[in-house]
Amino acid sequence: MLYALAHFFSIKFFGYITVRVGIAFFLSLGLSLFLMPRYIRWAIAKKANQPINKYVPAHEGKKHTPTMGGAVFVVSAIIATLIAGNLVNLYLIGGLITIIGFGLVGFKDDLGKVLSGNNLEGLTPKGKFLLQIAVSLIVVGLLFVMNFSTHFYIPFLKTPLFDMSYMSIPFWVMVFLATTNAVNLTDGLDGLATVPSAISLATLGFIIYATGHLELSRYLLIPHISGVGEVTILIGAFVGALLGFLWYNCYPAEIFMGDTGSLAAGGFIAYLAILGKSEVLLILIGLVFVVETISVILQVGSYKLRGQRIFLMAPIHHHFELKKWAENKIIVRFWMVAFLANVLALITLKLR
């Protein structure tokens, strides 16, 4: 809307991406802060509570905490983007499709859990997996329609290693699946997934902006992709909405994001990593999510192969809970790890 008005009335101020990022950020932050308490009251009245897994330690007190808060911050981010973004930009449209698509998969899963009152209900693992693949293929298909570059980059090199061509399809789908499920696994403590997601999005936002900026991409020796910078409007909106959600999600949480939020956030992070040619760098950008996922893989693999567990419980944040770490101490330390990992990721941009 603002972009169209800027062109129609020749208002240069609203034509700048940085200005519209700021507008989208504060719009979504305000919407999230406004809508979240109203949703919380409605969810409590409707008993839309988070069913707690009986195997999770010491979380009995959270069984009355409402869930699906992710729906509120997703809607807030979308509304702010519709106001501030250039809606004819296909990269921006792809981002919206990603957030809405994965958010709907998570919403369906959350709804099943809430209605059944059982955290193990909802979508079956196979059904959830297939729906995630379907959304991933839609987004990847859109990238191919746009003739998006299929070159494969790694940190520290300014030129691509090779052209993945059609092999980019399974590779990008794998990036989507790995990232969405990694963020989903991390969402187990109050604010644990929220802040690392916001930090990762901020880092990727800088990379996306630099990728879409001719001079900045030349200076940093990263690939230039014309038009991709418009996606930073959606990034700003999503980060603002997440911060509004964090106001109520920080310890002790009044609301959980549920799979609706974690899958939407994970899918969007994956989409940005693909746009910014940062699929490999995503390992560092999303280090907390990677560690959480690896802890589950190691735990399951060790138990199947040796009949022994490596951790007291996986994902690893539950291990620290059973080690008697205070919940807020675990959360803040994980936030610190996420921040430091993202600082290192940004440093690599100039080491080429």
Tens digit of pLDDT for each residue in 99-143? Answer: 999 999 999 999 888 877 666 667 888 999 999 999 999 999 999
Angle at 200 between CA 321 and CA 216, to 5 degrees: 160
Q: Residue 340: its pLDDT value, please? A: 98
What letter does residue 281 receive in the DSSP assignment? T
Closest to 17 (Cα-Cα) out of 205, 239, 267: 205
pTM of the model: 0.94
Enclosing H/E stretch for 10: none
- Record the tokens describing residue 227, joined without a space: 């038009």
HSE of 65, CA atoms in CB hemisphere, 13 A: 21
- Record the tokens describing residue 234, joined without a space: 């959606």
In this structure, are residues 204 and 269 in contact, taking their beta carbons and an 8 Å threshold?
yes
pLDDT tens track for 35-72: 999 999 999 888 777 666 655 655 555 777 898 999 99
Q: Is 79 exposed, middle or buried (0-12, 13-18, 19+ CB in 10 A)?
A: middle
Q: Residue 198: its pLDDT value, please? A: 98
**Cα 81 to Cα 251: distance, rounded to the nearest angstrom:** 29
Q: Residue 48: its pLDDT value, please? A: 76
The residue ranges of the chain whose pLDDT is under 70 are: 1-14, 50-61, 117-121
Strand partners, 152: 162
Q: Residue 114: its pLDDT value, please? A: 81
**Cα 271 to Cα 135: distance, rounded to the nearest angstrom:** 11
State the sign of the Cα–Cα–Cα–Cα dihedral 61, 112, 109, 32: negative
Q: Residue 112: its pLDDT value, please? A: 85
Q: Residue 13: its pLDDT value, please? A: 63
pLDDT tens track for 90-101: 999 999 999 999
Angle at 133 between CA 131 and CA 139, to 5 degrees: 105
Q: Is 296 exposed, middle or buried (0-12, 13-18, 19+ CB in 10 A)?
A: middle
